[in-house]
A and B are shown apart, each in its own frame.
Chain A
Amino acid sequence: MGTRRDFLKGVLASGAAATAGVVAVPVQARETRSRPPEALGLLYDSTLCVGCKACVAACKTANENPAEFSTVDHLWDTPLDTSGYTFNLIKMYRNGTMDAKDQEVNGFAFMKTSCMHCADPSCVSACPVSAMTKDPVTGVVGYNPDKCIGCRYCVVACPFGIPKYQYDSPTGRIGKCELCRHRHKDGHYSACAAVCPPGATLFGKTSDLLAEARRRLAMKPGEMNRFPRGHLLSAQEKTLPAKDNGKGQGTQMRTRAGWLDEPDQSYETPAGKYLQHVYGEKEYGGTQVLKLSGVNFEKLGMPNLPPDAAAAMSETIQHNLYGNLIMPFAVLGAMTWVARKNVKSDEDSPEQGGKDHVQ
C-alpha cells in the first residue's frame, strides 16, 4: 500500500515545485503599451461628418471588397455592420424626433466604425500564429492571410468588434481595416480620409491628430474656425500653395516623407459642440484612431474602456506562469523525481514481476 510518507512526499514535491516556480519568477506586470512615436492614424470628428458614406465606398474600392446588400432590390452597397467584406462603415444614432444633429435627445449623430489600431491590441496578443501584427514604426495593425489559421480568437478578443470573418466561404479570411497600408508605398494614404468631403476623417500622425483634436476641444461652439481636410501635416510642415503641388497639376507628382503632396484643402466652418473627451487618447492604453463627438460615445457604439489593455493582464498572467518555461520545468522536475520513485516501486513489485504496471 502506498505509505503515508510517500503521499506526503508527493504533496511536498508538488508544493515545493510550485513555490520554486513562483519564487524564481517574481511577479512582474507587463505594462500596457503606448503608441509608437511615429504612429499613423485617423481623426474622426462626428460633428463634421455629414453621413455621405463616401468613405465607405472608397474603402470598398481600395480594398477590392464586394458590395453587401440589406435591401430587397440589391441596388446599392448597404451593409448594416462591418463584416469580412466591409472594413469601414458610418453608423447613425437616432433619438426621438431627430430634430438636430449631434444632439443626444431628439437628435441624431454619425459614427465611423473601423479598426482603432490600438497601442496594445488584443487581437495581436491573441493571435497564436502572428498573422495579426502591429508595425513597430507606423503602429498599423495588419493581417496576413497566409499565416492565419482562422481560429477567430482575434474576432472574440477585440473590444471594438473589428476583425470579422468570412463565414460564407470555405477559405474565409479575416477582414479588417489596415489603414490602407497597401497604398502607402505609392504615397497614398487611407482612402476614407482622402475622399472625406468635410474632412471629418483626417489622416496623419497620431501625435499631430491628437494636437488637432485638442485644438478643436478648445474652440467655442458655433465660432468660425479653419478645419483641414485629407492629410493632416505636422505643424512644422507647410502645405504648398495650390498651384505648386503634385495633385492634378502638371505631370510631376511631388512627395514629401513618402506621401504625395496635395493642395491645402482647409476650409472655414462653425465649430461643433464637443464633449470634452478625445476617444482613443487613453482607452486601452490609447488607440491610433481618435474620435470626437457631440453625443456620448457609448450611445454611438464606442465601448467604455479602462486605461489598461486586457492584453497586458493576459500577458502578465501568461508570462508569470510560463516565462522562459521556468515554472513548467520546475514542476516537471519535481513530478519526474516523484514519478520515478513511484513507478519503479510498481516495477519491483515481486508478485507481478513489474510487468503489468508500467503504463
Chain B
Amino acid sequence: MSNNHHAAPAPVGGGLVNIVTLSCGVLIALMAAILMVRFLFGLGAVTALNDGYPWGIWIAVDVVIGSAFACGGFSVAMLVYIFNKGEYHPLVRPALLASLFGYTLAGAGVMFDLGRWWNVWNMFWPTSINPNSVMFEVAVCISLYIVVMWIEFSPVVFEKLGKDDARRKVGKAMFFVIALGTVLPMMHQSSLGTLLVVLGGQVHPLWQTPVLPLLYLLSAIFMGYAVVLFESCLTSTAYRRKIETHMLTPIAKIMLGILAVFIVVRIGDVIARGALPRAFQPSVQALMFWLEMACFIAPLILIGAEANRRNPAKLFLAGVLLMLGGALMRLNGFLIGYETGGDFNYFPTLAEVLVTAGMFAVEVLGYIIITRRFPVLPRENAQATH
C-alpha cells in the first residue's frame, strides 16, 4: 500500500577504486598494524589508558557514540513498520546498512578493548552471567541485535544472489525480526546510559542522573534520524543523485519533536536535581555542557520553520549538529565529566585515534562497496556515471 510509487532498490554501480576508497584502505591497514601491537604487547603499548581512565575513546567513541550513530536503521524501521509510514520505505535499506556496519564494528571494537578477550564467552555462559550488571544487558542485547540486523538485511543479499526461495522464507518471519529490531536497540541504547549510574559521584552531576536511560534512548532515536539526514544528503551528493527532500523534510519534523521532548527532560532533570548551578561554574565541564546544549537547541532554530526544512543544506547541518550534540553528551558522561580522584589524565594517543579512524573507514568502505554492488539505494533514472 504505502510504497507502490517507490522505485525498487538497485545497485548504484560504478568503479570501486577512487580516492575515498583508497584512503579508507590506508586507514584500515594502519589500524591493523596498531592492533597487532596491541594484541602482542597489551593495551598499554598503544593506548593512554590508565587506572584513572580505564575507558578511553575505543569505548566512549567507537562503542557508545558509534552505536548511537548506528541507530538510523532502528529509527527508520520503527517509523515505517511500527508507525506504518510506508512513504519512507526507500530509506530503510540504506539506513539499515549503515546501522549494520556501525553495530558490527562497535561489537568488534569492544574486542580490541577487552583486556582478557579470550574469556568473552563467559558473557553468554549461564553460570557466569550477572543479570545485575548493566554491561551484561548491553552486551547481550547488542550481540542479539547484530544478528537480527543481518537477518533484516539478508533479503538484499538473497536478491543479489537470486535466491528467491530463501528470500521468501526469511520474509515470512520478517515481522517478528523487525519487532525484535525495534525492542533490542531500545533496551541497550537506554542501558548505555544506565552504565554510568553505578559510577555514582564519580560522574559530574550534570551527567549523573537516574533518568540517564531515558535521555540516552530519546537521543539515540533523534540521532538515528539525524544520521539519516546526514547520510542521505551525503550519498546523494557523492553519487550525484537527487536529494530525497520529500522524505527528509517530514522526517526532520519527527526528529525535532523527539528532540523537544528530550530537551524538556534534560533541562527539567538538571533543574530538579539542583545541578544547574554546576553549569555556571568556571569549569571545562560547564563549558562542555553548554556546547552540548547549543548543539541540541540550534537545530530547533535552524529548521524549526517548515520552509527551512525543505532546504537540504539546513537539513544536513541540523543533522550534523544533533549527531554532535548526542556524541558530546556521551563523551561528557563517559570521559570529560568522569573524575575518579587522584592525579590521572587521559588524552588519546595517535594510535588510539588511528584505530577509531580505521573503524570508521571500514564503515565507509563497506557502505560504498555494498551500495555500488547490492540493491540498497532506490533505482534512479540517471545512474551514477563514475
A interface residue numbers (CB < 8 A to B): 1-3, 6-7, 9-11, 13-14, 81, 83-84, 122, 125-131, 145-153, 155-157, 159, 161, 164-173, 301, 303, 305-306, 309-311, 313-315, 317-319, 321-322, 328, 331-332, 335-336, 338-352, 356-359
Contacts and interface: CB of A to CB of B under 8 A. Distances in A.
Contacts, number: 263
A128 B3 contact: no
A6 B179 CA distance: 16
B249 to A, nearest CB: 16
18 contacts: A10-B84, A126-B133, A129-B123, A130-B128, A147-B119, A149-B122, A156-B55, A314-B134, A315-B132, A332-B180, A335-B178, A336-B179, A338-B81, A339-B176, A342-B81, A344-B175, A345-B84, A359-B93
Interface in B348-382: none
Contact of B42 (A125, A151, A172, A317): A172
B174 A301 contact: no
B182 interface: yes
Contacts of B87: 1-2
A129 B122 contact: yes
B51 interface: yes
A147 B128 contact: yes
B342 A148 contact: no
Nearest to A344: B175
A150 B117 contact: yes
Highest count of chain A CB atoms <10 Å: which of B132, B155, B190: B132
User: What are the nearest 4 A-B pairs in CB distance?
Assistant: A150-B115, A310-B200, A167-B44, A150-B116
A10 B133 contact: no
A151 B199 CA distance: 15
A240 B201 CA distance: 46
Nearest to A324: B131
B210 interface: yes
Interface in B25-63: 39-45, 47, 49-52, 54-55
Contact of B83 (A10, A170, A173, A359): A10
Contacts of A349: 1-4
A359 B81 contact: no
B139 interface: yes
Contact of B3 (A122, A156, A317, A357): A357
Contacts of B135: 126-128, 151, 153
Contact of A155 (B54, B155, B180): B54
A331 B81 contact: no
Contact of B178 (A84, A146, A152, A339): A339
Highest count of chain B CB atoms <10 Å: which of A14, A164, A331, A356: A356
Nearest to B376: A359
Contacts of B117: 149-150
B83 A321 contact: no
Contacts of B384: none
Interface residues of B, number: 87
Given A128-B130, A170-B41, A321-B190, A310 B197 contact: yes
A3 B84 contact: yes
Given A7-B84, A340-B175, A359-B174, A173 B116 contact: yes
B174 A343 contact: yes
A149 B340 contact: no
B39 A128 contact: no
Contact of B84 (A156, A309, A321, A342): A342
Nearest to A304: B201
A352 B341 CA distance: 62
A127 to B, nearest CB: 6
A158 B340 CA distance: 9
B61 to A, nearest CB: 16
B129 A128 contact: yes
B40 A170 contact: yes
A346 B200 contact: no
Contacts of A303: 201, 341
B9 A356 contact: yes
Contact of B51 (A6, A164, A168, A309): A164
B114 interface: yes
A345 B44 contact: no
A79 to B, nearest CB: 12
A353 B340 CA distance: 60
Contact of A346 (B86, B187, B190): B86
Contacts of A315: 132
Contacts of B294: none
Contacts of B43: 165, 167, 172
Contact of B187 (A309, A322, A339): A322
Contacts of B302: none
Highest count of chain B CB atoms <10 Å: which of A83, A339, A345, A352: A339
A7 B120 contact: no
B329 interface: no
B84 A6 contact: yes
A352 B4 contact: yes
A155 B210 contact: no
Contact of B2 (A1, A83, A157, A171): A1
Contacts of B114: 149-151
Contacts of A7: 83-85
A283 B180 CA distance: 41
B183 interface: yes
A359 to B, nearest CB: 4
B186 interface: yes
A336 B187 CA distance: 16
A347 B201 CA distance: 52
